[in-house]
Amino acid sequence: MTTELLTKNPQVMSTELPDGGSVLLDLSSELYFGLNSVGTQIWEYVGDGATATEIIDRLDAEYEQVDRATLTKDVTALVAELKERELLVGLSS
């Protein structure tokens, strides 16, 4: 999963909130999904064309206080949830 290319579902709109988080709206299901500030960074990195491994690398460089194993577990869990809700789509690399 970590080298899989990820893309945002084109049916999902997002807006950033004043606290650094964001809200995603799936137009097909009309359901909302909230992200905290780190989740918003992950969402933006996906938009940059990053794989999960690249996202983990970027966050690892930014957040020295978080160990890589925890970061990997958390990013993997969020990506899996976003894919399960069809907010993200995985592509073969």
Are 45 and 54 within 8 A, CB to CB? yes
Cα 93 to Cα 46: distance, rounded to the nearest angstrom: 14
pLDDT of residue 2: 63
pLDDT tens column, 49-90: 888 899 999 999 999 899 999 999 999 999 999 999 999 987
0.85 exceeded by the pTM? yes
Say which CATH number the domain at 18 has. Answer: 3.90.930
Tokens of 26: 């799936």
* Interval 4-38: pLDDT, tens: 788 999 999 999 999 999 999 999 999 999 999 99
Domain membership of residue 30 as a residue range = 5-88
The total number of structural domains that make up the chain: 1
86 contact partners, CB below 8 Å, separation of at least 6: 9, 26, 28, 29
Domain assignment present for 93:
no
Instruction: Say which DSSP state 84 is in.
Output: H
Q: Is the pLDDT of residue 93 over 50?
A: no
